Amino acid sequence: MHTAKHVQQLRSSYIREILKAATADGVISLAGGLPAADLFPHMLLQEAMLKVANNRQVFQYGETRGYAPLLEHLSKTFNLQESHGTLVTTGSQQGLDLIARTYLNSEDHIAMEAPSYLGALQVFTLAQATINTVPQTPSGPDIKALKQLFESRQVKLFYAVPDFHNPTGISWSLQTRQEVARLCQTFNVTLIEDAPYRDLRFFGDDLPLVSSFCPDHSLVLRSSSKTSAPGLRLGSVTGPEEWITHLIRVKQTSDLHSSLPMQAALLEILTHPGFEQHLCNVRSHYHQRYQALSEAINTHLQSEVSFTKVEGGMFLWLKLAKGDPMQIAKMALKKGVAIVPGSVFYIEEDIQSPAIRLNFSYCKPEQLATAIQLLASVIALPK
Ligand SMILES: Cc1ncc(COP(=O)(O)O)c(C=O)c1O
């Protein structure tokens, strides 16, 4: 059977290929976006699952919007204003897909930073939207380019990851947050603020959500994947209640509702007195891993690369002075290190400079140091 035309536009994901290879024995993987399995809140998960197993009600069909006690907890934690609502989704990825399916007609214009999260590029491609990109600077999107874009055409959505971006790890400055919010209000563009890494800050001070400066022009995606466990497959969308209501109608056609037992388990985890300590532990380990990675880069690769320091999250973006990142990724895999070439995070029209994405959450510090030594032997080869 032939796939639908819009499916044919999806590029076969190099990440999927490399992730398959990355799980082979003996390969050190800096490729995926995986949180550290050794830092999952095992005790909390165990307790939560036992409790949930004894609660018959959550094994029945439930409300599409989500498990009421979890919704109540989330809206308090997010400090939502009265006119705003929450929808629990099957991962924040589903939130993104629902937004595209609910709000985008084919050829509607959307804006993104370049580079951008691959999963979002795929959702917007599948929705047949026209993707416009603006370059990213170390403090966020290039404001001048964003303004020009908003002036030149009616952009419906601006998708962004302002905290510890995937793939670059950068976090927007306060000024950029305010300027983007102002532009979205002025040009009536809806900001899709994707914030899965927001709670993973290990250095510096927290900054407000961009949407806090334009609440009625934004939808916020959050995820439990990086702070609890991705296998729970839970996330949420918040924003003006009227917009959430439309998302609920579309989610009904998709999966009726996200798993109730998992939502009940998540509520147990989030309200457990040990949860804050768990988060501190994750942040502190990610900080150590980031330091091990950046020190190894400075020791073994300094003259070949450059990178902007990150203050949280799971990724570092390594700019290369020379070389083809795709070739480097293939050669690195032969040496036993999996990395992702930067090109997969761009649309074809984008101007790119050679770079690779390195994940530092998944491997232990010693493995990260070994990986960089192996990578150096590939990058430093005369071309
Ligand atoms: C920026 C971004 N958004 C969304 C997701 C999807 O997260 P979830 O596991 O909640 O579906 C990811 C996963 O890596 C991500 O990096």
Q: Ligand 1 centre and the CA of 31: distance in Å?
A: 15
Q: Ligand 1 centre and the CA of 168: distance in Å?
A: 14
20: in domain: yes
Cα–Cα distance, 125 to 132 (Å, whole number)? 11
Which of 194, 192, 135 lies closest to 355 in space, CA to CA?
135
pLDDT on residue 13: 61
Residues 164, 181 share a domain: yes
Q: Ligand 1 test: best mutation among 90, 98, 136, 166, most atoms within 8 Å of CB?
A: 166
Q: Given pLDDT bands bounded at 50, 70 and 90, which one contains residue 21?
A: confident
Q: Given pLDDT bands bounded at 50, 70 and 90, which one contains residue 381?
A: low
Which of helix, strand or coil describes residue 305?
A: strand
What are the pLDDT digits (tens) for 304-331?
Answer: 899 999 999 999 999 999 889 999 999 9
382 or 67: which carries more pLDDT confidence? 67
Instruction: Give the CATH number, domain containing residue 328.
Output: 3.90.1150.10
pLDDT on residue 15: 66
Residues 80, 16 share a domain: no
pLDDT on residue 12: 62
Residues 309, 266 share a domain: no
pLDDT on residue 199: 98
Cα–Cα distance, 262 to 140 (Å, whole number)? 35
Residues 60, 19 share a domain: no
C-beta of residue 85 within 8 angstroms of C-beta of residue 97: no
Listed range (2-16, 36-50, 289-303) with the worst mean pLDDT: 2-16
Q: Ligand 1 centre and the CA of 121: distance in Å?
A: 12
Residues 162, 68 share a domain: yes
Protein residue with least CA distance to atom 13, ligand 1: 33
Protein residue with least CA distance to atom 5, ligand 1: 93
pLDDT on residue 224: 98
> In the chain, pLDDT over 90 holds for what percent of residues?
87
Strand partners, 133: 112
Residues 79, 24 share a domain: no
49: in domain: no
Pocket of ligand 1 from Cβ distances under 6 Å? 33, 91-93, 117, 119, 161, 166, 194, 196, 223, 225, 230, 235
Residues 346, 200 share a domain: no
Q: Ligand 1 centre and the CA of 196: distance in Å?
A: 6
Domain end residue (candidates: 231, 256, 271) = 271
pLDDT at 139 over 70: yes
pLDDT on residue 342: 94
pLDDT on residue 6: 82
Domain end residue (candidates: 252, 271, 290) = 271
Residues 305, 362 share a domain: yes
Q: Ligand 1 centre and the CA of 139: distance in Å?
A: 21
362: in domain: yes
Instruction: Give the CATH number, domain containing residue 97.
Output: 3.40.640.10
119: in domain: yes
Q: Ligand 1 centre and the CA of 93: distance in Å?
A: 6
Q: Which atom of ligand 1 is nearest to the CA of 96?
A: 4
Mean pLDDT of the chain, nearest integer: 94
Cα–Cα distance, 91 to 278 (Å, whole number)? 20
What are the pLDDT digits (tens) for 188-241?
Answer: 999 999 999 999 999 999 999 999 999 999 999 999 999 999 999 999 999 999
pLDDT on residue 14: 65
What are the pLDDT digits (tens) for 262-296?
Answer: 999 999 999 999 999 999 999 999 999 999 999 99
Q: Given pLDDT bands bounded at 50, 70 and 90, which one contains residue 298?
A: very high
Residues 174, 146 share a domain: yes
Residues 201, 151 share a domain: yes
What is the model's pTM?
A: 0.96
Residues 197, 68 share a domain: yes
How many structural domains is the chain composed of?
2
Residues 124, 101 share a domain: yes
Cα–Cα distance, 178 to 279 (Å, whole number)? 28
C-beta of residue 104 within 8 angstroms of C-beta of residue 129: yes
Strand partners, 201: 312
pLDDT at 22 over 90: no
Tokens 């702070």 label which residue? 227
As to burial, measured by CB atoms within 10 angstroms (0-12 exposed, 13-18 middle, 19+ buried), residue 350 is middle
Q: Which atom of ligand 1 is nearest to the CA of 230?
A: 9
For residue 79, give its domain range: 56-271
